[in-house]
């Protein structure tokens, strides 16, 4: 009888400490084709499988849990706008946010937080603040951090440990328990990790992204003709940005449209980025019912597709805010868009993942968007700029600049544009006055028109190293210098 009781107890102890593992899945590439011979690891449980010819893997087992060998110490850390607490026992945790004058902006307390990991996303709670003092405490242990923004991104000098998903609602919150991590490696692909919270009946289909071969150098191309790429548009994507009320959309903030080569993921190029800035009350394309073009009603919203598509056909990824006040706000919507697209290049789930050349970024804009371009000229990420019938006093210019004006423009005079052109002395700059154009007619003159051709040539030179197109701007006998449609003025650095 005693033996039976002991056997029953032993079985019960085993059942209480055993865990069932039943995980299956398929590893495939971005096109959905299975990847054979990929190494799939269940990291914490030290289990490994290799995918078969159909890309399938599985982990099916019964394991006896072992007690954790090391108890993690309490820890407070801050990185990329996320404050993390790691607790090894139930404790009181607290977050306080202050401005630099010592005013308390927010306080969050959990008096009986269970052991585990907690995170507080500061960046989603105080996007308007430039500098904060963050005071965080576990029981009687307290740490303080200075927390600041730089060009729309939050910076903080502390390492971040742990594997748990970030809470994005800005509240102090325990993370969903991560049971283990699946790691997948395969020749010719970037490694990928997937956190899992359940070991049973989990179908884990995992997509790997190919490691691109070294990007092909950009060949030269004729800027006065459509480029070799078919254009696709990703509409209403990215974060909300821009001031409210918006001239068109009133109290509703807008997102972005991205115009890009359709074969972005297979082109074998790394594509430069162009940030487009609309004129006041305008959009990159019509967006009914609030943004339409109707000559009879005197509505002229959404007319920029000719120049945007022309640039995208040449291989640029054009990020266009849907804000119709692109020179207003802090940060400017163009800067928000640039921050976002750069992050997309490192997001494995994004179509832009590792397909962008984030070292080659330019901006151009029309009218109020030209003002936006001038206002952000000092941003160190830009490598070339262009303005079309728009300008503002410049500071911090560190890139080549193309200034386009229209001789018949009754809104933004060429004299005003020229005044700011003359201030650029330390970097190449050129002023092109299309004498017969007005404030809006330039966009309808096609790829051979001065504005579309000059924009494509300018950014091909400075973002694609297309040196053959230097002839359009550089030297005393440049192509536009001899073009009867325009008057050209170069600064001293355009002589060769």
Asked if residue 339 and residue 483 are part of one domain, the reply reads yes
pLDDT of 354 strictly over 60 = yes
Give yes or no: residues 170 and 186 share one domain: no
CATH number at residue 435: 3.40.50.1820
pLDDT at 73: 65
Q: How many domains does the chain have?
A: 3
- What's the pLDDT at 17? 53
410: Cβ contacts below 8 Å, ≥ 6 apart: 438, 439
Helix (H, G, I), strand (E, B) or coil at 325: coil
Q: Range with the lowest mean pLDDT among 122-126, 270-274, 291-295, 490-494? A: 122-126
pLDDT band (50, 70, 90) for residue 42: confident
What percentage of residues in the chain have a pLDDT greater than 90? 60
User: Domain with 163 in it: what CATH number?
Assistant: 2.60.40
Task: Say whether pLDDT at 59 is over 70.
Answer: yes
**Whether residue 288 sits in one domain with residue 235:** yes
- Residue 420 is predicted with a pLDDT of 97
Do 285 and 236 lie in a common domain? yes
- DSSP string across 209-245: PBPPPSPPPPPP--TTS--SSPEEEEEEEEEEES-SS
Identify whether residues 324 and 443 lie together within a single domain: yes
**What is the reported pLDDT for 156?**
37
CA–CA gap between residue 356 and residue 365 (Å, rounded) = 21
CA nearest neighbour of 247 among 364, 126, 369, 340: 369
Instruction: Strands of 215-337 (E only): list them.
Output: 231-241, 254-261, 271-277, 293-294, 299-300, 317-321
For residues 269-295, average pLDDT: 95
Q: For residue 61, what are its two tokens? A: 């087992």
Q: What tokens does 77 get?
A: 């850390």
Helices 450-464, 305-313: crossing angle, 10 deg rounding: 40
Structure tokens at 435: 């004498």
CATH number at residue 190: 2.60.40.1120
> Does residue 217 sit within a domain?
no
d(CA 447, CA 442) in angstroms, rounded, equals 11
Tens of pLDDT, residues 155-185: 333 332 333 333 334 445 444 456 788 899 9
Say how far apart CA 394 and CA 419 lie, in whole Å. Answer: 10
pLDDT (mean) for 218-232: 98
pTM for the structure as a whole: 0.62
Domain holding 412, by residue range, is: 231-494
Return d(Cα 193, Cα 29) in angstroms, integer.
15
């Amino acid at each position: 009888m005693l033996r039976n009781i002991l056997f029953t107890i032993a079985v019960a102890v085993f059942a209480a400490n055993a865990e069932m593992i039943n995980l299956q899945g398929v590893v495939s590439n971005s096109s959905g084709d299975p990847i054979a011979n990929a190494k799939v690891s269940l990291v914490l449980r030290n289990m490994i499988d290799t995918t078969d010819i159909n890309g399938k893997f599985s982990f099916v087992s019964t394991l006896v849990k072992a007690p954790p060998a090391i108890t993690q110490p309490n820890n407070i850390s801050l990185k990329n706008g996320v404050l993390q607490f790691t607790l090894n026992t139930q404790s009181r945790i607290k977050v306080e946010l202050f401005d630099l004058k010592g005013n308390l902006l927010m306080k969050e307390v959990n008096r009986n937080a269970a052991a585990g990991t907690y995170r507080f996303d500061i960046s989603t709670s105080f996007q308007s603040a430039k500098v904060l003092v963050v005071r965080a405490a576990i029981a009687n242990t307290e740490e303080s951090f200075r927390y600041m923004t730089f060009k729309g991104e939050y910076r903080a000098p502390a390492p971040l440990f742990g594997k748990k998903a970030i809470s994005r609602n800005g509240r102090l919150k325990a993370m969903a328990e991560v049971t283990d991590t699946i790691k997948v490696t395969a020749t010719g692909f970037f490694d990928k990790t997937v956190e899992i919270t359940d070991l049973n009946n989990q179908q884990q289909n995992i997509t790997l992204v190919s490691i691109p071969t070294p990007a092909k150098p950009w060949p030269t191309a004729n800027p006065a003709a459509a480029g070799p790429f078919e254009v696709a548009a990703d509409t209403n994507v990215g974060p909300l940005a821009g001031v409210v009320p918006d001239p068109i959309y009133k109290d509703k903030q807008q997102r972005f449209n991205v115009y890009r080569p359709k074969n972005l993921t297979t082109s074998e190029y790394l594509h430069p980025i162009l940030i487009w800035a609309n004129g006041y009350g305008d959009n990159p394309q019509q967006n009914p019912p609030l943004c339409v073009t109707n000559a009879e009603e005197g509505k002229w919203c959404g007319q920029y597709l000719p120049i945007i598509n022309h640039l995208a056909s040449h291989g640029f990824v054009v990020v266009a805010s849907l804000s119709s006040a692109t020179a207003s706000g802090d940060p400017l919507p163009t800067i928000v868009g640039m921050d976002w697209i750069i992050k997309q290049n490192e997001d494995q789930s994004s179509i832009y993942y590792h397909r962008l050349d984030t070292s080659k970024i330019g901006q151009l804009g029309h009218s109020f968007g030209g003002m936006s371009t001038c206002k952000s000229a000092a941003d160190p990420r830009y490598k070339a700029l262009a303005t079309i019938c728009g300008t503002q006093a410049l500071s911090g210019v560190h890139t080549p600049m193309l200034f386009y004006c229209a001789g018949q423009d009754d809104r933004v005079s060429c004299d005003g544009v020229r005044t700011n052109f003359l201030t650029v002395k330390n970097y190449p700059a050129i002023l092109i006055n299309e004498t017969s154009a007005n404030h809006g007619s330039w966009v309808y003159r096609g790829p051979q028109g001065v504005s579309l051709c000059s924009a494509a040539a300018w950014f091909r030179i400075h973002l694609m190293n297309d040196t053959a197109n230097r002839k359009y701007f550089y030297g005393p006998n440049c192509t536009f210098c001899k073009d009867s449609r325009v008057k050209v003025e170069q600064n001293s650095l355009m002589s060769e």
